[in-house]
Amino acid sequence: MTAFPPALLQGYRAFRRGKFASESERYRTLAEQGQKPEVLVIACCDSRAAPETIFDARPGEIFVIRNVANLVPPHWPDGRFHATSAALEFAVQSLRVKHIVVLGHGRCGGVEAALGSSAEPLSPGDFIGKWMELLAPAAEAVGENQWMTSAERQTALERISIRYSIDNLRTFPCVSILEKKGRLSLHGAWFDISNGELWIMDPETGDFFRSSPAPE
């Protein structure tokens, strides 16, 4: 039998001695009373862009959905399996979150795959390719811009994907109704892995502005 990854065991032991020890009462309360996060973060599954780490969140503070390229599909109740839609439904309808943040990041592999239309599928199922078809029109338009460098095209599509996902969130009745009532707010953000910068999307213009790391 293959041994459990030693690095994970070491991390768990450090967690027990450190964070769990200092937050043991909070964990006990969460276990007894359940979770009541006010924020849902929809993020990429990239190991370099964990929302709990970026936002220094305590246990129970944020509910997180992660998938390739932090995409939200349109509302499409076709009877098939929809993991992101199911988690979104739970966060909005059951947990009653007050904010939804779509968090993109730099150097996203999913976005890179969307721009590289000639890339070979990783498996016969081509699950990534089919998932990234959600961004196909935008990827085609950005990819055809010869005045942009490859890095500029990558960043542009990463940020477009955030706006796209926010638009798709509004196709879900449970989201659009609550937003119109002022009980739910939608936000976009982009994290630069290389320098740790967080860029916040202006809800009116869709432009991104660098967030100050310290209160002004």
Alpha-carbon dihedral sign for residues 96, 58, 17, 191 = positive
Residue matched to tokens 């969130």 = 169
| 154 and 174 together in one domain | yes
CATH code of 68's domain: 3.40.1050.10
| 167 and 64 together in one domain | yes
| Both tokens assigned to 215 | 């209160």
Residue range of the domain that includes 7: 1-34
85 within domain boundaries: yes
105-162 per-position pLDDT tens digit: 999 999 998 998 666 777 887 888 889 999 999 999 999 999 999 999 999 999 999 9
63-72 per-position pLDDT tens digit: 999 999 999 9
Nearest to 175 by CA among 1, 82, 71, 40: 40
14-57 per-position pLDDT tens digit: 999 999 999 999 999 999 999 999 999 999 999 999 999 999 99
Q: How many structural domains is the chain composed of?
A: 2
| 15 and 97 together in one domain | no
| 11 and 42 together in one domain | no
| 16 and 51 together in one domain | no
Query: What is the structure's pLDDT at 152?
Result: 96
Query: What is the structure's pLDDT at 147?
Result: 95
Whether the full predicted model's pTM is greater than 0.85, yes or no, is: yes
Rounded CA-CA distance 72/161 in Å is 9
